[in-house]
Structure 1
Amino acid sequence: MQRIGIIGVGEIGRAIVAGLCDGGGESPEVFLSPRGARAAAELSARYEGVQVCAGNQEVVDRSDVVIIAVRVPDRHEALAGLRVDGGKTVISLMAGVGNDELRRMLATDAAVVRAIPLPSVRERSCITVTFPSHPVADALFERLGGTQPVADEAAFNVFSALTGTLTTQYWYLATLASWAAGQGIDSAVADRYVRGLFQGIGRSLSDGTRSLHQLAADHETPNGSNERIRTTWFGPANSAALGKALDDLLADLK
């Protein structure tokens, strides 16, 4: 079992630890940086094999796989002076930071892999995009729900841009619940109903035999309510605006 080190214990770092340690079977040893001290201490108290290190260099020294999950603006401060020997595997979760740039920052010839895990790795239900394909990184994320290696960083950046739409989905649902509350529905009741309404979408998405467009069509009645909202609100103008926002994000990620 590989020893896992995580530098930057934010939401994704916490989700990775939970996914690794709650999945049954043998859990790896996990070494956490003191960055995000409160979260790191909570994880260490919850899981027997999780330890908080005194500093980032100790995380590196005690680990076979080093996951870098710091915020991009904090990367120089967090990684300055780290020594990473060539026998380790470094997995970067930093959006917009290429493998060559990170390898130069660390002055290492270790294997460097980019990855895009999402919070659902906590439940081991997330497909994680990686580049390049690497047996150690791919095996780690297979354990957390599955892996999707891509051919180059250009493709990786496209998937990275897609993840930028995640919180928009939550905001969309919150807007629906707020609208209902504005119509006189109790806000807690509206919230509960919207959650239940869209949990069904998650289940239907597991049907890989139907395309996304087919799923939409299967849930519409011609001239019905769903078709009306889709064609009047999410029409060509809004579709183009979403595409433009993704184009701009992709340009920044490059």
Structure 2
Amino acid sequence: MNLGFIGTGNIATSVIKGLCTSNSTSHINISPRNKEKSLFLEGLFDKVTRMESNQSVLDHSEVIFIALPPAFAKDILKGLSFNEDHRVVSFVPFLDLEELLNSVGPASKVSRAVPFPTVENHECPILLYHPDETISGIFKNIGTPVPVASEPELKLLWTLTGLIAPFYDLTETLSHWAQSHNVEPSVANRYVMELFSALTCYPRKNIPFDFSELKKEATTPNGLNDQALKIIEQQQANTAYRVAAEALYKRFE
């Protein structure tokens, strides 16, 4: 199977890297839109061919991944000729399924997906809306597909991907705090990331789980976690995350 990518930004690059280092045997055709990244990917992987145009990607591929900036996506897509046999998967945040269908006709097998950069390491929950078995199978090579039942649900959960940078900001803050007390930067960085990574292992292996129960199990009265939790609640620090999530969600409406 030939896969085609229209757009070679950060997300598309991560997906392509993930596919090329997975069990997938598909060939990948990419657009020349980002010259530096497209040439880099073609040079890095034998499976990747940089095409001369976006239309050439369509003409030589069965599954088309749309990874364009939201502001330009519809205009670029309307300048291309899709066929009815194309399967189209959009990574574009604010392009609803109906708008996508109008932009890629006569193609009618369309879906939306939400990968993020960790997909290149095959460690990524991937939201999927309206996929078929072929599309789900492709994403199983590079992460954990999470099908959603509706577009509103997709938009709500997509919002949470906007909190990746704040998470890294938190880890950086904690690492810098440790470094300010004379811990070596490499040790502080590694421990902070390994700590948070380890905290996700238990619930991931014991689904279903309850966050409230996990919090209770980690909290001993008058212990370190109990003290930290009370201070953070008093500062209403977590409220900022809810406020940020609500603000991001409004962009999808």
TM-score, length of structure 2 as denominator length = 0.90
| Amino acid across the alignment from 2:133 | P
Match of 2:155 among 149, 157, 168: 157
Q: 1:207 to 1:218 in 2, by over 3 A?
A: farther
- State the match for 1:214 in structure 2: 213
- The CA distance in 2 between the partners of 1:129 and 1:74, in whole Å, is 23
Partner in structure 1 of residue 40 of structure 2: 42
- Give me the whole-angstrom Cα distance separating, in 1, the residues matched to 2:146 and 2:196: 26
Aligned counterparts of 1:253 and 1:157: Cα–Cα separation in 2 = 6
TM-score (normalizing by structure 1)? 0.89
Structure 1 residue identity aligned to 2:117: P
Equivalent in the alignment of 1:30 = 28
Q: What CA distance in whole angstroms lies between the structure 2 residues aligned with 1:83 and 1:53?
A: 16
Cα deviation digits, residues 187-231 of structure 1 (max 9, x gap): 344323322322322433422243233233332222211222222
Return the alpha-carbon distance in structure 2 between the equivalents of residues 196 and 242 of structure 1.
22
Structure 2 CA distance, aligned partners of 1:249 and 1:23? 33
Aligned twin of 2:249: 250
Is the CA contact 2:112–2:131 (under 8 Å) kept in the aligned structure 1? no
Q: Take 2:69 and 2:203, find their aligned partners in 1: how far apart are those partners?
A: 31
* In 2, Cα distance between equivalents of 1:212 and 1:98: 32
Residues 62-77 of structure 1: matches in 2 within 5 Å?
62-76=60-74
2 CA distance for matches of 1:196 and 1:78?
A: 42
Report the Cα offset of residue 61 of structure 1. Answer: 1.1
Q: Which residue does the alignment assign to 1:16?
A: 15
Instruction: Tell me the residue number matched to 1:52.
Output: 50
Structure 2: distance between partners of 1:230 and 1:168 = 19
Change in Cα spacing, 1:192 to 1:147, as seen in structure 2 (3 Å) is: closer
Separation in 1, partners of 2:248, 2:52 = 36
Contact persistence 2:116–2:124 (CA under 8 A): yes
> What pairs with 1:1-254 in structure 2 (closer than 5 Å)?
2-24=1-23, 27-76=25-74, 78-209=76-207, 210-234=209-233, 237-254=236-253
* Counterpart residue identity of residue 102, structure 1: L
Query: Are the counterparts in 2 of residues 89 and 136 from structure 1 also a CA contact under 8 Å?
Result: no
The share of aligned pairs that are identical, in percent, is 26
**Partner Cα distance (1:103, 1:213) in 2:** 41
Query: CA offset at residue 12 of structure 1?
Result: 1.7
Distance in 2 between residues matched to 1:162 and 1:52, nearest whole Å: 33
Name the CA shift for 1:236/1:183 in 2 (closer, same or farther; >3 Å).
Answer: closer
1:253 is paired with a residue whose SS is coil
> How far has the Cα of 1:236 moved from its partner?
8.1
Unaligned runs of 5+ in 2: none
Bigger Cα displacement from structure 2, 70-79 vs 242-251: 70-79
Q: Which runs of 5+ in 1 are unaligned?
A: none
